[in-house]
Structure 1
Amino acid sequence: MGEIVLYGANWCGDCRRAKAWLREHEVPFTEVDVEHDEQARDKAIDIAGGRRNIPVLVLPDGRVLVEPTNTDLADAVTGS
């Protein structure tokens, strides 16, 4: 599996949880900070279909997860 792109912010508990899960399972990802980058924030909102929730994860196959649970992450990574 290629690298996941995670749009999030340091203050976001769901973002911290998702990053911890990805690290724990050794899933490569790139983090994009939407708190300090207005263009990244706008892109995350666009990718999420207008939702302003974070984290927004873009999977290598183009699928998008918004505020995924750990189960959602596991399903996405294993392809279930």
Structure 2
Amino acid sequence: MTRAWILPMLLVLCGSAVATGLILKGSFGSASGLLLAFVVLAGVNSPVIFPRSIAAGEAQRRSGVDGRPVVFWRPGCKYCIRLRIRLGRDARKVHWVNIWRDPEGAAAVRAANDGNETVPTVVVAGRPHTNPGPEWVRARLSAST
């Protein structure tokens, strides 16, 4: 859990340090804008932006029942963030598995990607797809409902 917060906390700390330097130089507007940018970047890279993760076994069981895709992801992955943001509200319909919190999920991703933890890995109907486009995932999600 703490590993997922390292990057966001570093971003906030770096933004605070740079903003403090700008404030000491008298540039309040630039400092506040820069700090806001670092906080937004930290938020995007934090686990907060993603729907609640579940265990890989539970996600696969639910997917078998409702046919919805399972997305294996990890915090800080820019491709995972892109997928999450581009899915918009539909992201809540997908089953998310954080591979840093679920060893079984990490093992499933390694098995699908020749031993690499390449994410996002999306499993639809038991078949893994590595880093598919958001439109592709949305189409599979629409087909399942």
When normalised by structure 1's length, the TM-score is: 0.70
**Pair 1:23-2:91 in alignment:** no
Gaps of 5+ in 2: 1-65
Pick closer, same or farther for the CA change 1:2–1:20 going to 2, 3 Å: farther
Gaps of 5+ in 1: none
Aligned Cα root-mean-square deviation (Å): 2.3
Q: State the identity as a percent.
A: 18
**How far apart are 1:4 and its partner, in Å?**
1.1
- CA deviations over 1:37-78 (Å, ceiling 9, x no partner): 2221011211x242431011011x333210112344355456
Contact 2:68–2:140 (Cα < 8 Å) also in 1? no
Contact 1:22–1:29 (Cα < 8 Å) also in 2? no
**Pair 1:44-2:131 in alignment:** no
Moved over 4 A (4+): 74-79
Letter in 2 for 1:5: V
**Pair 1:64-2:128 in alignment:** yes
> 1: CA distance between counterparts of 2:141 and 2:86?
11
**How far apart are 1:8 and its partner, in Å?**
0.5
- The structure showing larger relative contact order (alpha-carbon pairs under 8 Å, at least 6 residues apart) is 1
Residue in structure 1 matched with residue 6 of structure 2 by the alignment: none
Between structure 1 and structure 2, the one with the greater Rg is 2
Q: How many residue pairs are counted as aligned between the two chains? A: 76
Contact 2:69–2:141 (Cα < 8 Å) also in 1? no
When normalised by structure 2's length, the TM-score is: 0.43
